[in-house]
Amino acid sequence: MENLINDRVKNIQISGIRKFYNLVVNYKDAVSLTIGQPDFTTPEHVKEAGIRAINENKTSYTQNAGLIELRKAAADFVYNKYGLLYNPENEVITTNGASEALDITFRTILSEGCEVILPGPVYPGYEPIIKLCGAEPVYINTCNSGFKLTAELIESHITDNTRCIVIPYPSNPTGCVLDSDELLKIGQLLKDKNIFIVSDEIYSELTFDGKHNSIASIPDLRNKTIVINGLSKSHSMTGWRIGFTFAPEYITKHMLKVHQYNATCASTISQYAAFEALKNGLNDAEAMRNEYRKRRDYVYDRLVSMGLDVNKPSGAFYIFPSVKKFGLTSFEFASKLLEQERVAVVPGDAFSIYGEGYIRISYAYSMEILEEGLNRLQKFILSL
């Protein structure tokens, strides 16, 4: 019967991040620097709001788009933080994490034969959804531009089939960001083109050097941009599964249909916790951001001292050093490192072909774990 399974589903591969993470269970003494899972707990006031929702029997369905008070709080949050103005009544949807937000976005705007421009290396979660829609990912090599998607690079890859461009900054896996001037140049290129922009801003609150800039804040681009965000990284709420889409009403009304038949609504309990996070936890990310900045500086300095070629991240909690000079593929390097020194990192080829020759290290771990992991990495490098 397996031959009857949808070919598009059969051809999807398990994420390279998860593949390598799953290998770690076979090495009981391994130090894992693989997963983008904050090591901070959900803020106490947010957890209490979730408990309160259960105790008050707030466990029934909400509106498909989510609690109106939550959507208002989400709209207020992105306005106060990033200057984005959205009507909570018809331009905001509460989703099951940013992952579902991406799914309903792509399924709404893509059709057979469309092309979606992506920077490479990039988070591997986009390609499977794009392909399930019958569309085609078009990767741009950003290794020579500081891992940044530039207007010049985009222009050279636009075709008559280009339907969408993904702007995923701060970036997973590189930690790079786009500043306002870089976004303006992209805006000048795209403002008169019938091309959607999907701006994945899930790491927006983890920007280290200055404020986060959203491409949707450019007036000429708001009408064609779908902003993806959520609380997994900003409030350490990965398991609560709360994300958001912010988009013009003419797009949102169609995304809402996909969301309705896909999930009905996000978890009601999680929505009440999310309301508390956004209403009374406007700056909950600040302490985490400050700690991640310290970890970034430590990890970056250690990698440089090891002689690795690496860009200093400006956001998120990942760093993406090159291992090309060792003459191993990224998978071979990561596998040998795990076998010899019991340190797990993610091979760069998990993030498209343009990630080959790199490894991703997550510093969403304590300083003690990072120090031990980097000591083992240094020992491994000296053995090569």
> What is the CA angle 175-216-281, rounded to 5?
65
**Torsions phi, psi of 20, nearest 5?**
-75, -35
Distance CA 271, CA 278 (A): 10
Digit-by-digit pLDDT tens for the chain (384 residues) are 988 999 888 888 777 777 777 777 788 889 999 988 899 999 999 999 999 999 999 999 999 999 999 999 999 999 999 999 999 999 999 999 999 999 999 999 999 999 999 999 999 999 999 999 999 999 999 999 999 999 999 999 999 999 999 999 999 999 999 999 999 999 999 999 999 999 999 999 999 989 999 999 998 999 999 999 999 999 999 999 999 999 999 999 999 999 999 999 999 999 999 999 999 999 999 999 999 999 999 999 999 999 999 999 999 999 999 999 999 999 999 999 999 999 999 999 999 999 999 999 999 999 999 999 999 999 999 999
Domain with CATH 3.40.640.10 in the chain: 60-280
The helix (run of H) or strand (run of E) holding residue 288 is helix 285-305
User: Please, what CATH class does the domain formed by 60-280 belong to?
Assistant: alpha beta
Task: Give strand pairing partners of 164.
Answer: 116, 196
- In CATH, which superfamily holds the domain spanning 2-42+285-383? Aspartate Aminotransferase, domain 1 (3.90.1150.10)
Radius of gyration for the alpha carbons in the chain, expressed in angstroms and rounded:
21
Domain with CATH 3.90.1150.10 in the chain: 2-42+285-383
For residue 327, count CB atoms less than 10 angstroms from its CB and return exposed for 0-12, middle for 13-18, buried for 19 or more.
exposed
Closest among 122, 129, 63, 53 to 320, alpha carbons compared: 122
pTM above 0.85, yes or no: yes
